[in-house]
Structure 1
Amino acid sequence: MGRVARPGRRPSPVPDPDSPLGRFAQGLRELRDQAGDPSYEALARETEQLGSPYSATSLRNAASGRTRPSWDVTEMFVRACVAFARKHPRRADSAAGEWKTDDLLAIWTARWQAISLSGEPAAAQPGARSPDRFAAGAPGRLPATLTRFVGREAELATGLRLLSESRLVTLTGIGGVGKTRLALHLAEAVAVRFPGGVHLVELAELTEPTMVDRAVATALGVQTEAERTPLEAMAEALRGRRTLLVLDNCEHLLEATAALTRALLHAVPQLRVLATSRQPLNEAGEQVLAVDPLPLPHRDGSAEQCCSAAVELFVDRAKAAVPDFRLTDANREAVVRVCRMLEGLPLALELAARRLRLLTVQELAERLDQRFALLGAAGADRTAPPRHRTLRAVFDWSHELCSAEERAAWERLSVCAGTVSLADAEALCADQRPAAQPALEAIAGLVDKSLLTRIEVRGRTRLRMLETVRMYGREHLAASGRDEQARRRHLEHYLGLARRAEDEYASPRQCRRLLRLREEHANLRQAFRYALADEQPSPLLFEGARALWLYWIACGNVGEGVHWMRRLSERFPEPPRPDLTTAWCWAMWAAAFALLLQGDHGGCAAFLDRVESVASRAGDGGAEWAGLQAAVHQQRGLSALFRGDTERAERHSHEALRFGGHRPGLLTTQQALAQIGLSAAVRGAGEEAVHFIRRAIELSEECGETWHRSYLLWTLAIAYTEEGRAREAVPLLRQSLDFKMQLGDLLGMATVSETLAWVLAQSGDPHTAALLLGAAHTTWRPAGAPQLWGFSHLVRYRDRGVQQIRRMLGEASFEKSYRAGERLGLDQALSQALGKRFPG
């Protein structure tokens, strides 16, 4: 509920709100505000009642941001806020009702220690104490940190909560992601909860499972005796003491570590264990916190968007390596590029920062394609464990922990790009040997070892591999001599996926297939790369190119489709073998279609001429060639229609209908009918136009596809608006947009929105019409296609509408609404428009 502002003096602003001390002070102010905005005098009274009185001035100074307060003042500030919130629940935020004093103190302990390590000036407080409960030199004392801890606010908050709820918490993640550093920071933050001490056990250098028990006993300061096992001695020493045991780097001794952890937790009820490992211990009651790489800056790379934890870490470590280093306008883009190429992996960022002693940031970014050599021994931290001294050592360690099947899966999946569906990963990793381990188990092992990350998309599992992990896998794949086989398997799988999708374009499964292809965009692109580089071209290269004719439109990326079609035609200007002639002709038809959608009518015609020339030399191929001729005529008709030549458009479209052998997935018949209908509409034959378009809609409904039907409904709406029947056009436009939204067809949504804007203007809402026009304009720009596909009649129709809307609104008002649409984006603009009442 809202609070009435409390009268009194306005607080002075924090001098440097972006500094560690400034953020600390801002946090205290926010805590006080959440507690109900008590005066500092009221907080002082609370501290008195809590038994540790502090003056209002001391508490105000704690949140001033000018000096670092003592721990005593910080602790009482937090306790006083909690006490006030409990006494005045109606004034406090709802979140304050869930406050737990111990959890809050743990969080503020970590924050106080962070500013202590940052070297901020401290306020003079007689007898002030630190929250650190460790005695110097005591067994288990955590090592002092030498560099600043960056980011991880979300992981710290989650870790603190898990440690309060569970007796076993394991931090998992890929090597070099910062598990150890996070664990130490968490341990420091919760130290006040464990009067029995926090004890760190470093397991990385142990080589035998039998060494785990004695290493833990040594860290605890427990003397083992001949008549007692180390477990018995540890259990007796820990019994009755609230203790935290930090087990660092368990992955290579997983079974022994898990067995000891299980035994100690059963024997010592007050013990808690915080472990770090590249995979979970898989013990009962274990809570797993996955540690991901640091967040990356936003895509636009502007100064405001560069403030990410990855950039902050890189810049901090760069300053340590080169003291005069600063993030500037001149180097910002290169810094962001380095952070993105290294995917926010902390160890890689730290190693890269050391290279700035020799290279500029730009030179560093240019060399990161060879990152394992670049981030090698020359830039290593000699004080680091051997497994963390170079980037390669990190992954060598992970590779050694993998089974033979897991290593093979790692290599085979390294040829992929982007994310991979679980089903596709299984297909790519499947081994035909009778005794082979199921691919699913190998993939699960890579997920457990943090080499693959599982994400969920629409209720299905997808797998993500960091590019650095991928590069390591590719090196091993190349060394094994199996890289060509893995690439061929990849291209056959994904281009085969495209071919199977085309088989269902003319079916109710069309939408699902198109959405599936969109998820595999990165791997379709990768498959084209592999196929174009293949010395012996696969028929699937040409069949996949043809099959993606609809995908390039529906995914809104015509420009990329043209790119791949041009590369294909340059690589194979003629059929490479006689047996590939038919497949080549169909691929060139798809190339012509992509060029047509980009507005290149000359290029489209040239490709179709090549197709007809090759087909005529090849002779009569029966129904397949008839279908190809029909498709060529349909596309020539569409090109003529876009240019405004209705006579030629109708002639070619009728020719397309005359031929038999139409491929169902090309939707040739209904497209040719729609072209005849649109041509009739352009020349003013309204009844004839509606007749042909309705025939096309009937065919679409019979086969159950939705993409073309959405355009046909829009086409019929245009025919109606041309005749002044806007009321009948509205439900057609709504239905068309419903289909477009199901498909995620942004260019289709933009196309229909142009007509909807005109209808809105005619029905008295020019403001929303201008909003939609602005939003549609921003959708066309990055697509690589001209607005309204360059359809001259519709472009003129739109221009007339824009001019009329300008006159209705006035120039200033039109520009305001148009620019608002550009900022809003098409989804939100349509949401606003469709929420309005339309005529009829």
Structure 2
Amino acid sequence: MAVVPLRAGAEHRLPAEVTSFIGRRRETTEARRLLSVARLVTITGVGGVGKSRLALRVALDVRRAFPGGVCFVELADVDEPALIGQALADTHSIRIPPSQSPVDVLIEHLADRRMLIVLDNCEHLLEDCAVLADGLLRALPDLRILATSRQPLGIASEQTLELAPLPVSGAGPLTCSAESDAVRLFAERVAAVRPDFAVTEANLPVVLEICRRLDGLPLAIELAAVRLRALSVEQLLQRLDDRFRLLTTGSRAAPPRQRTLRALIDWSHDLCTAKERLLWQRACVFSDGFTLETAEEVCSGDGIGKAEVIDLITGLVEKSVLIREEGYHEARYRLLDTIRQYGRERLAESGEEAIWRRRHRDHYRDLARKAWERHFGPAQLDWHVRLHAEDGNLHKALEWSFAEPGEAETGLAMATHLLHHWIRYHPREGRGWLAQGLALCTAPTVLRARALWGCAWMSLMQGDEAPAAAMLAECREIAARTGSDYDLAYADLCSGMLAMSRGEAATAAVLYRKAADRCRRLGDHVGVALALIRLCLARSVQGRGEEAQALGEEAVAVCEAHGDVRYRAYALMVLGIEAWRRGELQRAAALQKQSLESNRVMDDYTGCGMNLEVLTWIAGSEERYARVARLLGILKSPPWSDDVSMVEFRWLRRHSRVCEAEAVKALGTKAFSAEVTRGARLAPDEAAGFVLELEAPEEPVPAASNGQVPPLTRRETEIARLVSRGLSNKEIASTLVISPRTAEGHVEHILDKLGFSSRTQIATWLNEQTRNGKA
């Protein structure tokens, strides 16, 4: 039991810091603030995240504010609840008579002192630490307590500070990531055992991946750093799949639970109840986290009742095993990769891994099917967002299906049901999954026909016409043999897309008309809308404006009748193209802006990019060449830039090239480039305002009235706060229900606007604004 004696008076004897303290500026500031307003502050977090180190740093920083002294009590080695009070008494050389309560004796000796007590590692004696802290705080009004625990003490006066792992990635150029706290810690700890080591541009990607794989956990990073005495960074990374065997060389002077990574997680495991351990290992089948509803469905049964899941999740969150995050209308939970790997080993040892992997796959198979059935209509956005949040779990379910004997057809059906998700977010990846399933499922079934035209669609999105044509030919053959009008309709639709990409508008129009007619007979409203949108564009290209106008309006009506937003936006887009071709520039711009606003609501930046291109043509027709140049600049920057679009639209991009050439000629190369650069530097919200030609932008106002910090917009302020919490771009995207590309664009513009080069600088700046009352 390690205790640090505190002598009378204002002398403070705290453990000396023997290694450098990296990062944690925001958390240190917040802990100090909480101590100024609360009498009990508990730093919580997963094992190895640095709670004790932060508590020590805070105690050192605030010691002058406590003339009665500061004492640090390490409880990790205290096994008996009765010894907690004695451990604290020992710091003051107080003898507690057997007949007296430790709390009463401590109250008598500590009366009238303004002092701080640090209770380190309370989690295994939680209730007794809570009773001691409550008793002392009630009797000693000038006392403050700073506790560390994997779980809050749970008393009324407590304020908690949840400590997250160190941020790993920086923003902007890759080399800026070398400034991230996790990389700095790794570099300094490696230099202690290998003085010649330095993070370079060559090894930075490997170092970053090591830190990511270790979740930014300081103790895990420090244990890994020691291994570089014998290994290269590449060898270390290769062996992290077996990290519990690898990371076993901690300091001999450290407590036993901190000498190896396994011992660290064992400590957390031992604190859990039997059912919490069971849920922990079952939850390891998830990848990108999960919701309560999903856990109830996948993890219940065989020892865990469905109604028990909510309490078990709450317990695991409180013990810092599960991390709670804000999702879309509901909380999500995830395991750090190290925690997941530990649980996965336990699950494998139980012999039940295949059972729970199948349960996981079945859940996401059903989710994919429901999404397929509901992707057209008022619930479209909800389903898009839900599937996007489940990307990792969908991949894991597909991997299992294609690897498990006898499950390939289920995997192919699942990949096919996710077609609209792939088209929206991941066409290359979706094509890969469908191709994998098609290679395994070669029988000429309806399922294969459906997968063939879906794979052909995504091949066309990538400009691969030859494989698309071959797949569509096979699809037609199977659909004719099986009598599937549905698949013949979509073979016609995709064949029309192929013809249009080749510039054969007349052929495309015939195929689109056949597809629309088949879909009407089948009652497939989304097929009708998709065919009409494309038929409108084909007729417009042919110069048959009146027919194109009627077709576009019919597509809008179909979408509105079913409450659909996304495809209505595309119908408005093609109507806007036809209006531009007629010279109705004002109407064309209005239609594109209306479409753009819907695409932004749907977070569809592929659609947004097409809107911007058409608005560029319109500006060119109006001879507004500075606007042309700035729109082209916006198109080059995230999140607007995208190399995927409607297949048929690529054929029309010659208009963009003509527009650009005319703008360069009118403005001159230098002025044109300056406007392009100005457009590329606009933040997403500012870019949208420019594109939509809104009135003068809002002037920044004090944060008290709208929550923004000058010179940032409201959204940028919100994102800056998430950056300062250590969230990655992907985590910011999940929290705010935006695409990772949108989050990346916001972060890059914040850095550019503030003149910073790293995310750490954003966090530091925001903390200063907070202290000055501006945030």
TM over 0.5, shorter chain: yes
- 2:412–2:438 Cα contact (<8 Å) kept: no
Of stretches 566-575 and 159-168 in structure 1, the one that deviates more from structure 2 is 566-575
How far residue 297 of structure 1 moved from its aligned partner, in angstroms, is: 2.9
1:832 matched to which residue of 2? 690
Equivalent of 2:459, from 575, 588, 595? 595
1:818 matched to which residue of 2? 676
Distance 1:449 1:791, change over 3 A: same
User: What code does the residue aligned with 1:830 have?
Assistant: A
Distance 1:157 1:712, change over 3 A: same
- Measure the CA separation in 2 of the matches of 1:443 and 1:831: 43
1:403 counterpart = 2:262: no
How far residue 739 of structure 1 moved from its aligned partner, in angstroms, is: 0.8
User: What code does the residue aligned with 2:385 have?
Assistant: L
2:591 matched to which residue of 1? 732
Aligned residue for 1:752, secondary structure, equals helix
1:809 counterpart = 2:667: yes
Of stretches 532-541 and 264-273 in structure 1, the one that deviates more from structure 2 is 532-541
Of stretches 155-164 and 542-551 in structure 1, the one that deviates more from structure 2 is 542-551
How far residue 777 of structure 1 moved from its aligned partner, in angstroms, is: 4.1
How far residue 469 of structure 1 moved from its aligned partner, in angstroms, is: 1.1
How far residue 696 of structure 1 moved from its aligned partner, in angstroms, is: 1.6
Distance 1:815 1:366, change over 3 A: same
- 1:142–1:199 Cα contact (<8 Å) kept: yes
Q: Which runs of 4+ in 1 moved over 6 A?
A: 136-140, 661-666
- Measure the CA separation in 2 of the matches of 1:663 and 1:416: 38
Where do 5+ consecutive residues of structure 1 fail to align? 1-131, 576-580
2:194 matched to which residue of 1? 322
Distance 1:492 1:434, change over 3 A: closer
- 2:579–2:587 Cα contact (<8 Å) kept: yes
Aligned residue for 2:79, secondary structure, equals coil
User: What code does the residue aligned with 1:490 have?
Assistant: H
Of stretches 816-825 and 463-472 in structure 1, the one that deviates more from structure 2 is 816-825
Distance 1:744 1:257, change over 3 A: same
Equivalent of 1:676, from 535, 548, 553? 535
How far residue 326 of structure 1 moved from its aligned partner, in angstroms, is: 2.5
1:761 matched to which residue of 2? 620
1:165 matched to which residue of 2? 37
- Measure the CA separation in 1 of the matches of 2:397 and 2:281: 16
1:384 counterpart = 2:243: no
- 1:588–1:608 Cα contact (<8 Å) kept: yes
1:566 matched to which residue of 2? 435
- Measure the CA separation in 2 of the matches of 1:692 and 1:400: 66
- Measure the CA separation in 1 of the matches of 2:211 and 2:108: 49
Distance 1:779 1:688, change over 3 A: farther
Cα deviations by residue, 1:207-255 (Å, 9 ceiling, x for unpaired):
2323323223223322111331222211211122222221111111111
- Measure the CA separation in 2 of the matches of 1:835 and 1:526: 44
Cα deviations by residue, 1:141-179 (Å, 9 ceiling, x for unpaired):
322221111111111111111111111111101111111
How far residue 588 of structure 1 moved from its aligned partner, in angstroms, is: 2.5
Distance 1:427 1:727, change over 3 A: same
- 1:554–1:744 Cα contact (<8 Å) kept: no
- Measure the CA separation in 1 of the matches of 2:537 and 2:198: 61
Equivalent of 1:605, from 469, 485, 507? 469
- Measure the CA separation in 1 of the matches of 2:172 and 2:442: 38
2:770 matched to which residue of 1? none
- Measure the CA separation in 2 of the matches of 1:792 and 1:140: 71
1:477 counterpart = 2:347: yes
**What RMSD over aligned residues (CA atoms) do the two structures have, in Å?**
2.7
- 2:275–2:303 Cα contact (<8 Å) kept: no
Distance 1:639 1:781, change over 3 A: farther
Equivalent of 1:191, from 54, 63, 68? 63
1:249 counterpart = 2:115: no
Distance 1:837 1:149, change over 3 A: closer
| Greater relative contact order, per chain length (Cα 8 Å cut-off, separation 6+) | 2
- Measure the CA separation in 2 of the matches of 1:574 and 1:393: 51
How far residue 742 of structure 1 moved from its aligned partner, in angstroms, is: 0.6
How far residue 195 of structure 1 moved from its aligned partner, in angstroms, is: 2.4
- Measure the CA separation in 2 of the matches of 1:404 and 1:707: 47
Distance 1:782 1:545, change over 3 A: farther
How far residue 423 of structure 1 moved from its aligned partner, in angstroms, is: 3.1
- Measure the CA separation in 2 of the matches of 1:772 and 1:489: 49
Distance 1:137 1:356, change over 3 A: farther
TM-score by length of 1: 0.78
1:454 counterpart = 2:317: no
User: What code does the residue aligned with 1:535 have?
Assistant: P
Aligned residue for 1:297, secondary structure, equals coil
- Measure the CA separation in 1 of the matches of 2:8 and 2:222: 29
1:412 counterpart = 2:282: yes
- Measure the CA separation in 2 of the matches of 1:283 and 1:440: 22
Aligned residue for 1:199, secondary structure, equals strand
Query: Residues 384-783 of structure 1: matches in 2 within 5 Å?
Result: 384-431=254-301, 438-458=308-328, 460-537=330-407, 540-555=410-425, 557-574=426-443, 581-617=445-481, 619-620=482-483, 625-659=484-518, 667-778=526-637, 783=642
- Measure the CA separation in 2 of the matches of 1:664 and 1:463: 40
How far residue 461 of structure 1 moved from its aligned partner, in angstroms, is: 1.5
User: What code does the residue aligned with 1:508 have?
Assistant: P
Distance 1:466 1:816, change over 3 A: same
Query: Residues 21-170 of structure 1: matches in 2 within 5 Å?
Result: 141-170=13-42
Distance 1:663 1:751, change over 3 A: farther
User: What code does the residue aligned with 1:371 have?
Assistant: R
TM-score by length of 2: 0.84
Cα deviations by residue, 1:263-305 (Å, 9 ceiling, x for unpaired):
2222222222111100101111101011111122325663334
Aligned residue for 2:547, secondary structure, equals helix
Cα deviations by residue, 1:678-712 (Å, 9 ceiling, x for unpaired):
22211111111111221121111111111111111
Distance 1:608 1:726, change over 3 A: same
User: What code does the residue aligned with 2:620 have?
Assistant: A
- 1:631–1:662 Cα contact (<8 Å) kept: no
- Measure the CA separation in 1 of the matches of 2:28 and 2:157: 20
Distance 1:529 1:200, change over 3 A: same
- Measure the CA separation in 2 of the matches of 1:587 and 1:337: 35
Distance 1:164 1:781, change over 3 A: closer
User: What code does the residue aligned with 2:526 have?
Assistant: L
Distance 1:680 1:324, change over 3 A: closer
- Measure the CA separation in 2 of the matches of 1:337 and 1:829: 33
1:278 counterpart = 2:278: no
User: What code does the residue aligned with 2:54 have?
Assistant: L
Of stretches 701-710 and 316-325 in structure 1, the one that deviates more from structure 2 is 316-325
- 1:710–1:739 Cα contact (<8 Å) kept: yes
Of stretches 819-828 and 218-227 in structure 1, the one that deviates more from structure 2 is 819-828
- Measure the CA separation in 1 of the matches of 2:314 and 2:608: 40
Aligned residue for 2:91, secondary structure, equals helix
Distance 1:809 1:777, change over 3 A: same
Where do 5+ consecutive residues of structure 2 fail to align? 697-775
- Measure the CA separation in 1 of the matches of 2:110 and 2:683: 61
User: What code does the residue aligned with 2:469 have?
Assistant: A
- 1:599–1:790 Cα contact (<8 Å) kept: no
1:4 matched to which residue of 2? none
- 2:178–2:199 Cα contact (<8 Å) kept: no
Distance 1:432 1:732, change over 3 A: farther
1:215 counterpart = 2:87: yes
- 2:40–2:144 Cα contact (<8 Å) kept: yes
- 1:707–1:739 Cα contact (<8 Å) kept: yes
- Measure the CA separation in 2 of the matches of 1:405 and 1:670: 50
Cα deviations by residue, 1:721-765 (Å, 9 ceiling, x for unpaired):
111111221221111011100100011100111001111222242
Distance 1:403 1:308, change over 3 A: same
How far residue 486 of structure 1 moved from its aligned partner, in angstroms, is: 1.8
Aligned residue for 1:536, secondary structure, equals coil
User: What code does the residue aligned with 2:339 have?
Assistant: V
Query: Residues 364-383 of structure 1: matches in 2 within 5 Å?
Result: 364-376=236-248, 379-383=249-253
- Measure the CA separation in 2 of the matches of 1:513 and 1:177: 35
Distance 1:797 1:563, change over 3 A: same
Count residues with an aligned counterpart: 693
